[in-house]
Amino acid sequence: MNKFLSSYSKSRFLFTPLFVLSGIIFLLFLSSCGEKKFKISGSVEDAPEESFIALEMSDANGRWMTLDSVKINSSGEFSFSRPAVSAPEIIRLRFRDDYIYLPVDSIEHLTVKASAKNFSYGFTVEGSENAHNMAIFDKRLADAAPSFSNPDSLNAFKRRIYSDYLKDAEGSVFSYYVLTKIIDGKPLYDSLEDYPYFAAVATAFRQYRPEDPRPTLLEAVSLEGLRRRNATLGKANVYQAPETAIIDITLPTTDGTDISLSDIVGKGKKTILYFSGAHSEDTARLNIALRSLREKYGIEIFHVSFDPDSHAWRTSSLNLPWVSVWGGNPTAAERILADYNITALPVFFIYDAQGQLTNRAATLQDLTSLL
């Protein structure tokens, strides 16, 4: 039986705080937008007489609850009309013990055509691109699932899904659905190498839906995966000390000597790993703000600049009161961007006083709040 959002705490990555997120979204769902409605209608071919179909949503504890239930008419048709949601959400249609999962947003009208014999996967949906993509994804997942005993097949499938749906999802609830999908009692995305997917989707939510609570949890999942991955890497990529795992970076400073992140991190102070692009007026303003944070909180800063102009970087960095290194070399930049799953600049990573990577911040405001 295909279940979604009902086994959060059983996953190594999808841990207990996601129950809190479920509760937040549930409350948002119940907060209707005036008299506006969203509608789901359709038909179930060959549905027995007196059959019912239910509309469900997960509650604050991750359990699915019934919002409404209607009888399928003699022509196999049904219709639901509900108050418009305050935030995009995943709901499902239940027919007997089979389910169809759908994204809803605002006042959409979704039309579903299914059959009683193959309700969960033999259906079509119209009305929104997200709903259409979700239906295709579920079918592709069902077709590919028998091959998942082969790790290479599973990883290849996840890469294709990221390329086809997640990469340009722009913070859609469908992307969240994919990352939290449960199949045969196990999360689809649940390996040490999956953390970049969570980070990428979290970044998209931050950009396109800054008020949505989901990215906070997705980032936590990504960081947990990143920490676990770091602990398994060899010394070529990770500096390891007792109870410490650092994705190390070694690059030249303004005087041409190399310095490593591991020379700074884990020495008794929090360290901000700060990545920036080409120097600009915004960079200058950001540096002023970082000076203030450094003085206020007594933190260390390790600044990696990807400015392609090494002379401009050196000139702008000479008077900075923290370590600044140049990562503009394409080979070095590619490795670092991949290791830290960086898709936008600037970005900040927080290492605690003991050298553990604890948080990621996309904006100065987020960084200040986390500190």
CATH number at residue 252: 3.40.30.10
**Per-residue model confidence (pLDDT) at position 229:** 64
The residue out of 204, 224, 244 marking a domain boundary is 224
Residues 207 and 245 grouped into a single domain: no
**What phi, psi does 78 have (nearest 5°)?**
-145, 165
Give the distance from CA 50 to its chain's centroid. Answer: 42
Q: How far apart are CA 137 and CA 163, in angstroms?
A: 12
> Which tokens belong to 16?
């207990």
Contact by Cβ (8 Å): 235, 212: no
pLDDT score for 35: 60
> Of 193, 224, 255, which marks where a domain is finished?
224
Buried b / exposed e across 78-112, counting CB within 10 Å, b at 16+? bebebbbbebbbbbbbbbeebbbbbbbbeebebeb
Can you give the residue range of the structural domain that contains 281?
Answer: 236-370
> Any alpha helices (H) in 233-277, and if so which ranges?
none
- The reply to whether 270 and 165 lie within a common domain is no
Same domain, 204 and 260: no
| d(C-alpha 198, C-alpha 81), whole Å | 33
Which residue, of 185, 204, 224, is where some domain finishes? 224
Structural domain includes residue 265: yes
Are 188 and 246 contained in the same domain? no
What spatial distance separates the first Cα and last Cα of the chain, rounded to whole Å?
Answer: 44
Is the residue at 1 inside a domain? no
- Please name the residue that has the structure tokens 């079509």: 124
Q: Is residue 2 part of a domain?
A: no
The CATH number covering residue 179 comes to 2.60.40.2190
User: In degrees to the nearest 10, what's the CA dihedral of 332, 328, 282, 350?
Assistant: 20
Total domain count for the chain? 2
| Cβ-based neighbour number of residue 221 at 10 Å | 27
Q: Which residues in the chain show pLDDT less than 50? A: 1-34, 234-244
Which contacts of 260-265 are long-range, i.e. CB under 8 A and separated by 24 or more positions?
261/302, 264/300, 264/302, 264/323, 265/300, 265/302, 265/351, 265/355
pLDDT at site 17 = 37
pLDDT of residue 8: 29
Q: Are residue 364 and residue 310 in the same domain, yes or no?
A: yes
Q: Does 230 map to a domain? A: no
Classify residue 139: in a domain, yes or no: yes
Mark whether 202 and 55 lie in a shared domain: yes
Does residue 104 fall inside a structural domain? yes
281 in the same domain as 325: yes
**257 shares a domain with 211:** no
For residues 317 and 307, give the distance between their C-alpha atoms in angstroms, rounded to a whole number. 11
Tell me how far apart the alpha carbons of residues 57 and 109 are, in angstroms, rounded to a whole number.
Answer: 17
204 and 67 in a common domain = yes
Closest CA to 197 of 181, 216, 219: 219
181: β partners: 4
Residues 106, 255, single domain; the answer is no
Task: Give the residue among 187, 6, 34 at the shortest CA–CA distance from 90.
Answer: 6
120 lies in the same domain as 100: yes
Question: Are the beta carbons of 96 and 119 closer than 8 angstroms?
Answer: yes
d(CA 177, CA 263): 40
Name residues whose C-beta falls within 8 Å of residue 13's C-beta, 6 or more positions apart in sequence: 187, 189, 190, 194, 198, 221, 224, 225
Distance in angstroms (rounded) separating the CA atoms of residues 264 and 304: 13
CA distance 215 to 235: 31
pTM of the model: 0.55
Strands 250-252 and 347-351: unpaired
* CB-CB contact of 8 with 62 (8 Å): yes
175/301 same-domain check: no
Asked whether residue 231 is domain-assigned, the answer is no
**Residue 102, in any domain of the structure:** yes
